[in-house]
A and B are shown apart, each in its own frame.
Chain A
Amino acid sequence: MKTARAIILTIALLLSSMYASAQIPAVKVENAKGETVSTGSLVDGQTPMIISFWATTCKPCIQELDAINEALPDWLEEAEFRVVAVSTDDARFTAKARSLAQGRGWGDFTLLFDKNQEFMRAMNVTLTPQVYVVDKDGKIVYSHTGYSPGSENELLKKIKELKK
Chain B
Amino acid sequence: MIRKNPRLLTLALATLVAGTAAAQEPQKGYLTGSFETNTIYYRDDAKTNATAPDDHFGSNNFLKLDYYRGKLAVGVQMEAYLPVLQSFPTELAGTKLTNYYVTWQDDAFSVTAGTFYDQFGSGLLFRSWEDRMLGMNNALMGARFIYNYKNIVAFKAIWGLPRLGMEFSETQVRGADLSFSLAELLKWNNTSLSLEGSVLSRYEKIPQDLIDEGGKPNSEGYSGRIYFERSGFSLKAEYVDAGKKYAIDPEVSQDGDIYLQKTGSAQLLELGYNRNGLGISLSGRRLEWMRSEITSNGNLKSSSANLLNYIPAMCTQYTYMLTNLHPYTAQIGDAVYNNSGEIGGQADIFYNFKRGSALGGKRGLKIHANFSTYYTLHKEGTAKAGKLLYRDISIDIEKQFTRKFKAVLLYSMQEENPSYGRKSATRLQNVFVADLQYKFTPKFSTRLELQYLTTHEDEKDWMAALLEINFAPSWSIYGSDMYNNGGSKIHYFNAGVSYARSRTRIALSYGRNREGLLCSGGVCRLTRAYTGANLQITTSF
Which A residues are within 8 Å of any B CB, using their own CB? 1, 3-5, 7-8, 10-12, 14-16, 18-23, 25-26, 33-36, 56-59, 90-93, 95-96, 98-105, 115-118, 121-127, 130, 142-146, 148-151, 153-154
Which chain B residues lie closer than 8 Å to A98 at the CB level? 234, 272, 274, 279, 281
In the complex the two chains form, is B33's CB within 8 Å of A146's CB? Answer: no
In the complex the two chains form, is B274's CB within 8 Å of A149's CB? Answer: no
Q: Kindly identify which residue among A23, A101, A127, A150 contacts B439, using a CB–CB cutoff of 8 Å.
A: A150
Task: Tell me the bound Cα distance from A10 to B437 in angstroms.
Answer: 48
Q: A102-B274, A145-B504 given. 13 additional CB < 8 A pairs?
A: A4-B97, A10-B14, A15-B17, A21-B30, A92-B522, A103-B277, A103-B349, A103-B368, A104-B350, A125-B34, A125-B540, A130-B503, A144-B502
In the complex the two chains form, is B350's CB within 8 Å of A103's CB? Answer: yes
Q: A18-B21, A99-B272, A117-B129 given as contacts; is B192 within 8 A of A35 (CB)?
A: yes
In the complex the two chains form, is B502's CB within 8 Å of A143's CB? Answer: yes
Instruction: Name A55's closest neighbour in chain B (CB-CB).
Output: B521
Task: Tell me the bound Cα distance from A12 to B367 in angstroms.
Answer: 49
B92 to chain A, nearest CB (A): 14
Which chain B residues lie closer than 8 Å to A23 at the CB level? 30, 68
In the complex the two chains form, is B473's CB within 8 Å of A127's CB? Answer: no
B191 to chain A, nearest CB (A): 9
Task: Tell me the bound Cα distance from A81 to B122 in angstroms.
Answer: 33
Q: Which 5 A-B pairs have the closest CB atoms?
A: A103-B350, A99-B279, A151-B473, A150-B472, A148-B470
Interface 9-residue window, one of B293-301, B311-319, B332-340, B526-534: B311-319
Instruction: Name A4's closest neighbour in chain B (CB-CB).
Output: B97
Q: B36 within 8 Å of A by Cβ?
A: yes
Instruction: Name A14's closest neighbour in chain B (CB-CB).
Output: B18
Which residues of chain B from 70 to 116 have a CB within 8 Å of any chain A CB?
Answer: 73, 76, 78, 94-97, 105
B465 to chain A, nearest CB (A): 17
B387 to chain A, nearest CB (A): 24
In the complex the two chains form, is A91's CB within 8 Å of B34's CB? Answer: no
Which chain A residues lie closer than 8 Å to B538 at the CB level? 126-127, 145
In the complex the two chains form, is A124's CB within 8 Å of B10's CB? Answer: no
Which chain B residues lie closer than 8 Å to A123 at the CB level? 32, 540
